[in-house]
Amino acid sequence: MIEWTGANAIWISMTLPLLAIVWVFLFGKIPNVRESGSIAVSLVLFGVNISLSKLVFDGGRPELALGEMVPGFELKFTVEPLGMLFALVASGLWVLTTLYAIGYMRGHHEKNQTRFFACFAAAIFAAMAAAYAGNLFTLFVAYEIMTVSTYPLVTHHGDAKAKAGGRVYLGILISTSIAFFMFAIAWTWQLAGTTDFRDGGILRPAFEDGLIGPGALAVLLGLFAYGIGKAALMPIHRWLPAAMVAPTPVSALLHAVAVVKVGVFSVLKVAIYVFGIDLLNETGCSEWLCYVAGVSILVGSLVAMTKDNLKARLAYSTVSQLAYITLGAALATPASAIGGGMHIAMHAVGKITLFFCAGAIYVGAHKSNISDMRGLGRAMPFTFGAFLLAAISIIGLPPGGGSWSKWFLAVGTVERGMYFLTATLMISSLLNIAYLVPIPVRAFMTPAGQEPMTLKEAPLMCVVPLCITAVGSVLLFFFAHEIYGVMEPIVGGTKTP
């Protein structure tokens, strides 16, 4: 009998998505069997992560070392609280995204579904590898697997528009990781003699020994911030709107489960475990990044307001919301780091709901432009009701979970005396209202067009997941202390919500 240990749990969590890939190809011509296997594997993975989280949140740090590729660069997995939080979010939402994808792909009669579900599982494998990464080298490998495995999803339709979007997607993410991320890892290894993640960071000894000063630290931080292109920091954000040519389940995967969350999770992890919150704060080397994140927050929101296409509006909303997490890392206070960690979960659940709703509207009513959604709430009350609940969370209003993450980020700006950024957060929330609330208002409160309105929701496998995640975005408001409890030991204390 296999002993249940942290290392075995890591093995199982890494193996399950690979098993799903094999299953999908083996039973590709039997859709019910193919998709039942995907659902079963996703449920087991989430269960394994729940079991592993009990060990990690009680203070354990399970490890699994696969050996050195070259001296000093080891493939190593170490599960710490921030990574465990991300693994729970990604694996939990994979279950619902798989259910939703089945309903959407069948309802929309999409081709190449076997390839789709196989690449879907590969992306979750990369997300688990990133969540468990014990050093920068392992994180980089997982990051690149994520990019390559999601490219076929972005170009799924295979037309000229999809191929053009895929070129932008792949070009920006690969070029930034090679030009900046790889260089940042090499520089860190040269300074610290290791790439392992450690509490308090690994760069302080190099700073104290005079090997690197505040200015060079700021440059190194910039290499990480822009090398991790999946964080979609302006001006290298263009890959994210370009990727909206993908089917809506892929957009949900990109924005909530895997791709962008790997990006901002990596930025936050670098800030906490490579630089260290205290070093960033003492040297002021991250101050410039605070203002860049602030600009991304505002500009992303302003551009979102101009978009009539629902997915395009949500894409630019994501650019803005991701910058909240980057801001949490750059402010470098315990409150801001906690807010950044919270926003990974809060935004994931809220934004996946919004994309689920966008896909359900397209499948059920064949509409993608907001201007065409007059009175549509009467025909799709569950979909637009879920949209409203998720929008409340993204805006940051109670009882949406996003209200807590934005609160802690605002506290971080006050602690740093950056009142301009406090105002930025407030203005951004008002802009969130301006580009999100009119959508359900138009659907529920305005007269319908010429088309007769009958109750016609999307297929049940589309509607049930979006209702679950909408309720989840509200439940996170009441259970925010659980996420706070995960983040607080990593970054230091502040007052419990």
475: which 2 tokens?
Answer: 């439940």
Report residue 115 CA to chain centroid gap: 23
Separation between Cα atoms, residue 323 and residue 340, nearest integer Å: 10
Burial of 117 (0-12, 13-18, 19+ CB in 10 A): buried
Q: What is the DSSP letter of 333?
A: S
* CB atoms closer than 10 angstroms to residue 315: 25
pLDDT of residue 493: 45
Contact 413, 331 (CB under 8 A): yes
Separation between Cα atoms, residue 54 and residue 97, nearest integer Å: 24
Question: Which residue type sits at 486?
Answer: V
Separation between Cα atoms, residue 433 and residue 349, nearest integer Å: 18
**Could you give the 3-state DSSP secondary structure of residue 66?**
strand
Cis, peptide link before residue 489, omega less than 30° from 0: no
pLDDT per residue of the chain (497 residues) written in tens, 0 to 9: 345 577 888 999 999 999 999 998 998 788 888 888 889 999 999 999 999 999 999 888 999 988 888 777 889 999 999 999 999 999 999 899 888 888 888 876 778 888 888 988 999 999 999 999 999 999 999 999 998 988 888 887 778 888 898 899 889 989 999 999 999 999 999 999 899 999 889 999 999 988 899 999 999 999 999 999 888 898 888 888 888 777 777 777 766 667 888 888 999 999 999 999 999 999 989 999 999 999 999 999 999 999 999 988 998 998 899 999 999 999 999 999 999 999 999 999 999 999 899 988 988 888 889 998 988 888 899 999 999 999 999 999 999 999 999 999 999 999 999 999 999 999 999 999 999 999 999 999 887 666 555 668 888 888 999 999 999 999 999 999 889 888 888 886 444 33
Q: Is the dihedral of CA 139, 143, 149, 153 positive or negative?
A: positive
Q: What is the DSSP letter of 448?
A: -
pLDDT of residue 496: 38
pLDDT of residue 488: 85
- The pTM of this model reads 0.91
Separation between Cα atoms, residue 154 and residue 158, nearest integer Å: 9
CA neighbor of 132 nearest in space, from 264, 46, 11, 255: 11
Vertex 17 angle, CA 324 and 147, to 5°:
50
109-117 long-range contacts, CB within 8 A, separation 24+: 110/156, 110/247, 112/156, 112/158, 113/31, 113/34, 114/24, 114/25, 114/28, 114/29, 114/34, 115/152, 115/156, 116/153, 116/156, 116/247, 117/20, 117/24, 117/34, 117/35, 117/38
Separation between Cα atoms, residue 410 and residue 413, nearest integer Å: 5
Question: Which residue type sits at 339?
Answer: G
Q: Is the dihedral of CA 291, 294, 298, 303 positive or negative?
A: positive
